[in-house]
Structure 1
C-alpha cells in the first residue's frame, strides 16, 4: 500500500519511530504534532534495551546506528549488611545482557534519522480525535467518511487518512480508541535521579554491572548511562509513597526534576540512610535536587490498539511498570510491526487489523509480567537477607512465570 496522510500525535521516541516508519513505507505526507515547545533531548532519564531486542531493531531499521550506549553485563542484588562492609552483601548475581541509553540522546538519534519529508510541529496541543474507517474496499487515498480528524488547541481541525496516538500516559487518542481506559495506580512510587559517574567510587562500583539494592518494601536499580557531557549514574528507586498528601494518585503525574519540595527530599534522604548500604546511600545522596524527581507508578492494558482510522503506540497503548525494562524496545517494536503491516496491507483496514494482531496481546503480556515483578520487588518483598543464591534464583523464576526474561519479547517473524 502506498500513499495517504498520517498524523502522529506525540513526538518522543514512539512518535519519531512511527513517523519514520510511515514516511519510509510510502505515505504521501507525515506530520508529527508535539505538545512540548522545548527540547525533548534535555530529558536526562536512563533506560536500557536488551541486546537481542536491539539487534532485531537495528536489522529492521527502527534503531539507528551511532547512538551512544553503555554496555551492561551483569546484575548484582545487594542487601545492607554492616558485617559485609559499606557496599553491602551480594546475595545473587545474574547475567544482564543490556545496553543503557540516555533518553535525550536516544531521542535525538531517532529524531535525526527521521526522513526530511516528515513535518515535525512543536507547541501543537491536540485536544481530541475521531476516526472512521471506509471499509475493506477503501484504498490508501481514503474515501467518503473515511479518515481521522484531529482537533487542535486553537480550535482548528485537520484531516488525515490515519492518526497514530504516540502521546503517552495521558493519551488523547487512547480516549477515542478505548473510552474510559485510564492508567491505574500501582500503590507505590518511583524516585529517579542521575549524577556524574566520576563521583561514584568505592566497593561494588563496576561500570558493567547493574546494582539492585534490596530492602523491606522496596528496591533500587543503579547503573551507568552515557550522557551529553560524559558518563552518568542513573538510579530508579521503588518504595511506598511518602505520607502527607504531597503526591496525587488520581492521575499520572510527577514532580519534575528540580521541583521536589524540601519535605520530599527529606523523606528520600531518610530512606537512603535507613535502608541502604552506606556506600550506596551516600552515592545516591550525591544527586543534585535539580536532577531528582518522584512519580507514582501506574499501569494500563487496553482492549484494543486500533479503532477506525486510529492506532495506539508505545505508552498510549499500554503502560508497563518500569521493572520490565522494556519501554523503549516496545515502542520501537510497535513501529516495526506497523511498518511490516503497511508493507503487507492493501487497505487501511488490513493495516490496522494486522497491527492489532501483532501488538495487542504482546502489550498485555508485558503489563502482566511487570505487575508480577512489582509485587515481588516492592509490594511483597521477601526476606532477601536470608536468601541463598539458589533461593534468589528460584524467586526470580517465579516472577517470570515462564517468560524468557525481562526486556521485552522477540518479534514474531
Structure 2
C-alpha cells in the first residue's frame, strides 16, 4: 500500500520512529504534532537496549547507526554487609547483562536527525482530542482548529489523548511506589578514591523494600553515571501528589522527599554507593511515581497506539525504548504487506497487542520481587539468587523486551 496522510501525535522517541516508518513505507504526507516548544534533547535520562533487540532494530532501520551508546556486560547484585562487605558492600550474585546504555536526549536526537526530510515536525502543536471512526481521522488542536488525515498514530505517552479515543476505559494505574532518578558527570567519581567498578558493569544495590540500579551512560560532554532507586515513598500521614508521572521533575524534589532519600542511603546502602548517589546535583535529581497500563486493543477505526500510549511498562523490564522502536518496525512491516488501511491496522494489532500485555505482566512480577515483596537478599547465595530471578521471569527469556517474530 502506498500513499495517504498520517499524523503522529507526540514527537519523542516513539513519535520520531513511527513517523520515519510511515515515510519509509510510502505515505504521501507525514506530520508530527509535538506539544512542547522546548528542546527534547535536553532530557538527560539514561536507558538501556538489549543487544539482541538492538541488532534486530538496526537491521530494520528503526535504530539508526552512529548514536552514542555505552557497552554493558555484567550485572552485580550487592548488599550492605558491615562485617564482610567493605565500603562497596558484598556481591551475592552476578549475571550476564548484554545491553548498551543510552542518553535519552542523544537517542532522541539521533532518531530525529534520521527522520526523512519529507516529514513535517511541528512543535507547539498541542492536540486536545481525536476522532477516527469513519473513513478519515480528525485531530483537534488547542488553538481550536481541526485537521483530517487517513491515519492518526498516538505516540503521546502516559497521558495519551489518542488512547482516550481508542481505549477510554484504560488509564495508567499508580503501582504504590516511586523511583528516585539522577545522573552526574562520571569524572566526579574520581573524588571518591575507592570502591570503583568496571565501566561495563551494572550494580544493583539491594535492601528490604527496594533496590537501586547504577550504571554509566554516554552524555553530551562525556560519560555520566545514571541511577534509578525504587522504594516506597515516605509515610507521612498526608497524601503526596503521586497522581501524575511527572509530579516531581528535576530540581523540584521536595525537602521531605530529599530527606527520605538521604535517610534511606544512610540506613541501607553500602557507604561507597551512598556516596556515589550523593554526587548528584539537586537539579539532576527527580522523583517519578511508578505507573503501568495495558490496553485491550492498540487500534480503533483510523487510530493506532504506539510506545507508552499503547502500554506503560514499569522500568524494571528495561524495555521502553526497544518496545517503541519495535512498534515502529511492526507498523512499517504491516504497512508494506497491507493493501488497505484495515489490513494495516489488523496486522499491527496482531503483532503488538499481546506483546505489550506480556511486557506489562513481566514488569509487574519484577516490581513485586524487587520492591513490594523483596526477599532476604543478604541470605541468598548464587544458586538461590538465580532461582529467584527465574521465578520473576516466569518463562520469559530475559528482560529488555521480546524478540520480534520474523
Whether the TM-score (by the shorter chain) exceeds 0.5 is yes
- SS of structure 1 residue aligned to 2:2: coil
Map 1:10-409 → 2, pairs under 5 A: 10-83=10-83, 84-132=85-133, 145-201=134-190, 202-244=194-236, 245=238, 247-409=240-402
Q: In the TM superposition, what is the alpha-carbon distance from 1:243 to its structure 2 partner?
A: 2.8
8 Å contact from structure 1 (residues 183, 251) kept in 2: no
- SS of structure 1 residue aligned to 2:132: strand
Q: In the TM superposition, what is the alpha-carbon distance from 1:252 to its structure 2 partner?
A: 3.1
Q: In the TM superposition, what is the alpha-carbon distance from 1:250 to its structure 2 partner?
A: 3.3
What do the CA deviations read for 1:351-394 (whole angstroms, capped 9, x no partner)?
Answer: 00000000000000000000000000000000000001100000
Which stretch of the first structure deviates more once superposed, 331-340 or 79-88? 79-88
What do the CA deviations read for 1:281-317 (whole angstroms, capped 9, x no partner)?
Answer: 0110110000000011010000000000000000000
8 Å contact from structure 1 (residues 75, 93) kept in 2: yes
Q: In the TM superposition, what is the alpha-carbon distance from 1:249 to its structure 2 partner?
A: 3.1
CA distance in 1, matches of 2:104, 2:240: 24
Count matched residues.
401
- SS of structure 2 residue aligned to 1:301: coil
Which stretch of the first structure deviates more once superposed, 111-120 or 179-188? 179-188
- SS of structure 2 residue aligned to 1:82: coil
Which stretch of the first structure deviates more once superposed, 15-24 or 253-262? 253-262
- SS of structure 2 residue aligned to 1:381: coil
Scaled by the length of structure 2, the TM-score of the pair is 0.97
Q: In the TM superposition, what is the alpha-carbon distance from 1:204 to its structure 2 partner?
A: 4.5
Q: In the TM superposition, what is the alpha-carbon distance from 1:217 to its structure 2 partner?
A: 0.1
- SS of structure 2 residue aligned to 1:20: helix
Q: In the TM superposition, what is the alpha-carbon distance from 1:152 to its structure 2 partner?
A: 0.3
8 Å contact from structure 2 (residues 244, 289) kept in 1: no
Q: In the TM superposition, what is the alpha-carbon distance from 1:263 to its structure 2 partner?
A: 2.0
CA distance in 2, matches of 1:179, 1:43: 29
8 Å contact from structure 1 (residues 189, 241) kept in 2: yes
8 Å contact from structure 1 (residues 183, 299) kept in 2: yes
8 Å contact from structure 2 (residues 158, 309) kept in 1: yes
- SS of structure 2 residue aligned to 1:340: helix
Q: In the TM superposition, what is the alpha-carbon distance from 1:181 to its structure 2 partner?
A: 1.1
CA distance in 2, matches of 1:401, 1:229: 40
8 Å contact from structure 1 (residues 314, 331) kept in 2: yes
CA distance in 2, matches of 1:242, 1:105: 34
8 Å contact from structure 2 (residues 137, 302) kept in 1: yes
CA distance in 2, matches of 1:349, 1:101: 36
Q: In the TM superposition, what is the alpha-carbon distance from 1:199 to its structure 2 partner?
A: 1.5
What do the CA deviations read for 1:87-110 (whole angstroms, capped 9, x no partner)?
Answer: 000000000000000000000000
CA distance in 1, matches of 2:267, 2:185: 24
Q: In the TM superposition, what is the alpha-carbon distance from 1:203 to its structure 2 partner?
A: 1.6
Q: In the TM superposition, what is the alpha-carbon distance from 1:253 to its structure 2 partner?
A: 3.1
Scaled by the length of structure 1, the TM-score of the pair is 0.96
Q: In the TM superposition, what is the alpha-carbon distance from 1:246 to its structure 2 partner?
A: 6.3
8 Å contact from structure 1 (residues 8, 32) kept in 2: yes
- SS of structure 2 residue aligned to 1:363: helix
- SS of structure 2 residue aligned to 1:205: coil
Q: Once superposed, what is the RMSD of the aligned Cα atoms?
A: 0.9
CA distance in 2, matches of 1:306, 1:295: 28
What do the CA deviations read for 1:140-186 (whole angstroms, capped 9, x no partner)?
Answer: xxxxx411100000110000000000000000000000013111111
